[in-house]
Structure 1
Amino acid sequence: MTYMEFFGCAFIAFGPPFALFLFTIVRDPLRIIVLIASGFFWLLSLLLSSILWFAVVPLKKELAFGLVFSVLFQELFRFLFYKLLRKADDGLQRVSQTGQELHVAPRDITNKHIMAYVSGLGFGLISGAFSIVNVLADMVGPGTIGIRGDSPHFFLATAFLTLCFILLHTFWGVIFFNAWDKRKLHMVAVVVLSHLLVSCLTLLNQRTESRDTPLYAASIIPAYIVMVTMGVIAFITAGGSLSNIKSCLPFQSSANRYEID
């Protein structure tokens, strides 16, 4: 039973992101490099957050303190990675020109949304891995959660929140990069504030002396509403429209073929 729970939660958290990686990134060396580099930048933000948490001894027990500064450091390093990519545009262009046999796509350089998407997915994957890896290790037993008064929904809620954050980081990457390219500072603020909002919602999941039951629904439902909103904004930012969606539908394409015939 514990292994079923382990694989179920692992597939919930990493199934869709793995599909994105498999179908959009794995065949392109340049995208893999950007994915790994963005994950490294997220690790640097985690290191800085850990140093701050360790240094400020009086606030060590305040989870909200570390959470807020962790979000701010993540967005700072997202900006630094954005600046690095924009500085490296010329070098990436040379790589794309000399590496045609390695399937390095020149459109990755001209279409900046692709690099933003890859970097956002890199941020999300490493963030999700660090947030759920210890929980997954506990899922295989012995025993399972809920025996000593803990919520039996903890593992499932963690898996869904991890998936939410991975997809959110992907959407935030597209919105954030485009906002800096076009100097839309209000959209930068939207990314940072929505990141703070969703992260602070997870504080409802902790057990305290005044509240024995974690409020999983109160954190997951608003988080997924924010995720869908960010996904729509990222889709429009990348140039998507309703006509693009309709052209991809099977019945629409078959109807077009019928009209042509």
Structure 2
Amino acid sequence: MTTMEFFGCTLIAFGPPFAMFCLLIAKDPIRIIIMISAAFFWLMSLLLSSILWTVVVPLKDYLSFGVTFSILFQELFRYIFYRVLRKAEPGLSKVSEVGTPSGSTSTNNRTQLAFVSGLGFGIMSGAFSVTNILADSIGPGTVGIYGDSQYFFLCSSFTTLAFILLHTLWGVIFSKACDNRNYVLIAYVLATHFIVSAITFMNQNQWYLISIPLIYTVTALTTVLAFHCAGGSIGSLKRAFSRQ
């Protein structure tokens, strides 16, 4: 039973991101490299957060302190990686043109690269968030006996999936905001990152019926905004469905 729960929760958390990777990234080596590089930059933000948490001893016991600076470092490294991508853009264009038929254009435009880098951030964030939880889910089956919620693993998986999707969407919005110097969109990314992280504090009291819907409401709103930032519209959706 615990093995079934392990695989079920793993597929909930990483099934959709894995599908996005297979469909949109796996066939392009440039995108794979960018995704891995983005994951490395997220790891660097985690390293700085860990160093700060270790050095500032008086605030170690305050979870909000660690979360606040973790978010700030993540968004800082998102911006640094954005700048790295912009510097590497000419080289990426030349590399992607190798083997491409003459007259065709590269598919690695800025929005797609922002999507790939955001997914790299999200997958690495999700891996560090839920790996230990999934390891515990495989046994022994003791969750719920000592007053814990029997839905802990399931809700943790849904929360992890939301954060992976949000990082992907934040990557698209943040890139568009930096290109256009739209500080409102940058503030939106930072604010929603803080808000969603704060919502997860409800899980300490097992308020999953409140936290999960709120997180996915923010995810839905961010999806609409990211779709708009990527150049989507109602008309483009109608045209896409009409081709089906």
> Is the TM-score greater than 0.5?
yes
Q: Give the CA deviation at 1:131.
A: 0.3
Equivalent position to 1:163, from 161, 170, 185: 161
Amino acid aligned to 1:171: L
Q: How does 1:93-108 map onto structure 2 within 5 Å?
A: 93-100=93-100, 106-108=106-108
For residue 11 of structure 2, what is the aligned residue in structure 1? 11
Number of the residue aligned with 2:83: 83
Quote the residue 2:136 is aligned against.
Answer: 138
Rounded Cα–Cα distance in structure 1 between residues aligned with 2:99 and 2:179 = 27
Contact 1:121 1:167 in 2 (8 A): yes
Give me the TM-score of the superposition, normalised by structure 1. Answer: 0.89
1:129 maps to 127
Percent identity of equivalent pairs:
55
8 Å contact kept, 1:49–1:70: yes
CA distance in 1, matches of 2:9, 2:167: 20
1:113 aligns with 2:111: yes
Match in the other structure for 1:189: 187
Query: Structure 2: which amino acid aligns with 1:90?
Result: P
Query: Following the alignment from structure 1 to structure 2, what is the Cα–Cα distance between the partners of residues 48 and 204?
Result: 26
- Whether contact under 8 Å (1:2, 1:144) holds in the other structure is no
Q: Does 1:239 align with 2:237?
A: no
TM-aligned CA distance change 1:99 to 1:30, over 3 Å:
farther
Partner of residue 209, structure 2:
217
1:218 CA drift (Å):
2.2
Matched-pair contact (CA < 8 Å) for 1:10–1:136: yes
Amino acid at match of 2:44: L
Name the CA distance, whole Å, in 2 between partners of 1:221 and 1:144: 26
2:49 aligned partner, one-letter code: S
- Say if 2:57 is the partner of 1:65: no
Match of 1:46 in 2: 46
Offset at 1:5? 0.7
Task: Tell me the residue number matched to 2:172.
Answer: 174
- The one-letter code sitting in structure 1 at the alignment partner of 2:237 is I
Equivalent in 233, 253, 260 of residue 243 of structure 2? 253
Query: 3-state DSSP class of the match of 2:143?
Result: coil
Q: Once the two structures are superposed, what CA deviation does each residue of 1:213-246 show, in whole Å capped at 9, x if it has no partner?
A: 4212222111111100010000011111112222
Task: Give the equivalent residue in structure 1 for 2:202.
Answer: 204
Name structure 2 gaps, 5 residues minimum: none
Offset of residue 58 of structure 1: 0.7
Instruction: Measure, in 2, the Cα distance between the counterparts of 1:6 and 1:20.
Output: 21
- Offset, 1:99: 4.7
Report how far residue 204 of structure 1 moved. 1.3
Distance 1:48 1:93 in 2: 32
Choose the corresponding residue for 1:147, options 145, 148, 152.
145
Displacement after TM superposition at 1:200 (Å): 1.1
Which letter maps to 1:162?
T
Unpaired stretches in structure 1, ≥5 consecutive residues: 207-212, 255-261
1:147-206 Cα distance to aligned partner (Å, 9 max, x none): 111111110110000000000000000000000000001110000010011011111112
Output the CA distance in 2 between the equivalents of 1:149 and 1:235.
42
What secondary structure, in the 3-state scheme, does the structure 1 residue paired with 2:69 have? Answer: helix
Distance 2:216 2:114 in 1: 21
